[in-house]
Amino acid sequence: MKESKKKFIFMADDDEDDRSFFQDALTESGYDHELRFAFDGNDLLDQLQKIKKSDYGKLPDVIFLDLNMPVKDGRETLKLLKTDPAYAMIPVFIYTTSNSDLDVNLCYKNGANLFITKPSDFDVIVQIIRSVCDLVDKYVVLPHQHVIS
């Protein structure tokens, strides 16, 4: 079993209440984390580009992506992330109020790793975050963990 390490999580969501709710649930989950927010797809892509160019350069362990955002929505952002070799291997978890079959199918077709319909219950969000973090901790080998330079 792998040892739990600090997770770098990015969340792209234009709704301040949803971001706050998610942040509180992540804190309640007990996982050591760094959480950054983007307010739309353009903001997410700009921030990832800055990280890639920085000395720090550690890309996120996972991205939680809302679908319904202004400027550049999550559908378009997902497609851009998964077709860019610099970001394609980052797990992207769709985290949205949508539950339409069309959105689910389109997101999986475009490379989403998981599709989660936002629950309104705080305890359910905490449980989802714990499950996802456990999955990433124990079973997912992220590309940046094993790159030999």
pLDDT in the model for residue 146: 41
pLDDT in the model for residue 13: 97
Three-state secondary structure readout of 51-101 = HHHCCCCCCCCEEEECCCCCCCCHHHHHHHHHHCCCCCCCCEEEEECCCCH
pLDDT in the model for residue 1: 38
Residue 5 CA neighbour count, 13 Å, CB half: 12
Burial call 88-105: b when 16+ CB within 10 Å, e when fewer: eebbbbbbbebeeeebbe
pLDDT in the model for residue 129: 84
pLDDT in the model for residue 55: 62
pLDDT in the model for residue 75: 96
Burial class (CB in 10 A: 0-12, 13-18, 19+), 26: buried
In which residue are the tokens 């550690």 written? 58
Closest CA to 39 of 60, 63, 66, 4: 66
Burial class (CB in 10 A: 0-12, 13-18, 19+), 119: middle
pLDDT in the model for residue 142: 53
pLDDT in the model for residue 145: 47
Q: What are the mean pLDDT values of the chain's consecutive 10-residue runs (149 residues total)?
A: 70 94 89 91 95 80 93 95 92 92 94 89 87 73 47
pLDDT in the model for residue 149: 42
Q: Please check whether the domain covering 7-143 is classified as CATH 3.40.50.720.
A: no
Q: Pull the structure tokens for residue 133.
A: 């973090």
